[in-house]
Amino acid sequence: MPSGSPEVTSGPPLVEMRDIHKSFGGVHAVEGVSISVMAGEVVGIVGHNGAGKSTLIKILSGAYQMDDGAIHVNGNPVGIGNPRDAKRHGIETIYQDLALHDNLDAVANFFIGREIHTRYGTLDNAAMERAAREVINRINPSFVSLRDPVLSLSGGQRQSIAIARAIYFNAKVLIMDEPTAALGQRETRAFKDLVLRLKSAGIGMLVISHDIHDVFDLSDRITVMSNGRQVGTRHTADVTKDQVLGMIILGKLPEEGTEEELAQLH
């Protein structure tokens, strides 16, 4: 149980999102949600489909622009207008669909947008392959096909690429949207192991997951969202899985639910 782990430091959060609002047309996808991540902390975000989890993290990763609210990095307000801004602040994202280029090989996917090049603007493929091989093999020792289009790779291999490139470029905050969805049991265990290593390296993580067990295994704190709103945020050590499920299903804090409502959950 990593909760209350000593790696979580004091001081301003690595990243803080305050009172975030986002609408698509007339639909309020996110309404007044606030979350923060400390160095070495894992914050889980849970909720039904359409609760606004992915919208929230896509605002932080620069994929969407918020309508209202504020984002602070190390206590300083920052503007994140596009994915480049987020990366500049050390915020890296592993998207649910992995956002890979199927027509390119693993090395090209690894470095896309941050290619190593000579001063003439030509690609330094040898240097990129060395770096990518080293990092990807640390995550997945059996990964060999760095020069095949990633279309031909398995779900686990594709995920290795997405994870490897997210951690390689000095990430301070990692956003992971359903990171274990495409993984088998063994791979999921390996992934959890990686998260612990990243924690001890002081990296803050925001993890979206449908799997309540994964969230309890990984997170120091859990934020529950429902219909675009924040039901609440609790330290993992202070709540039970049933209580969190109750928050997801009822959209209320455990102390707010009536006896009958709580009884219906079982």
The residues that touch other proteins, with contacts defined as CB under 8 A, are: 61, 63, 82-84, 87, 93, 95, 99-104, 108, 112-115, 117, 121-123, 135, 138-145, 148-149, 152-157, 159-160, 167-168, 170-171, 183, 186-187, 189-191, 193-194, 197-198, 200-201
Identity at 52, one-letter amino acid code? G
* Nearest distance in Å: CB 153, other proteins: 8
Query: Hey, what are 29's tokens?
Result: 């996808």
Nearer to other proteins, 123 or 248 (CB): 123
Provide, rounded to whole angstroms, the least separation between the CB of residue 187 and other proteins.
5
Strands 173-177 and 91-94: parallel
Q: Is 263 buried (19+), middle (13-18) or exposed (0-12) by CB count in 10 A? A: exposed
Q: Measured from the CB of residue 256, what is the shortest distance to other proteins in angstroms?
A: 38
Our CB check for other proteins shows the closer of 40 and 257 to be 40
Closest CA to 19 of 49, 48, 59: 59
Nearer to other proteins, 95 or 216 (CB): 95
Residue with Cβ nearer other proteins (183 or 212): 183
Two tokens at 109? 């996917």
Contact between residue 221 and residue 27 where contact means Cβ atoms under 8 Å apart: no
219 contacts 206 by C-beta, under 8 angstroms: no
Exposed/middle/buried for residue 107 (C-beta within 10 Å: 0-12, 13-18, 19+)? buried
Give the nearer residue to other proteins in terms of CB position, either 77 or 155: 155
- Please report how close the Cβ of residue 225 comes to other proteins at its closest, in angstroms: 22
In the complex, minimum distance from the CB of residue 70 to other proteins, in angstroms, rounded to a whole number: 22
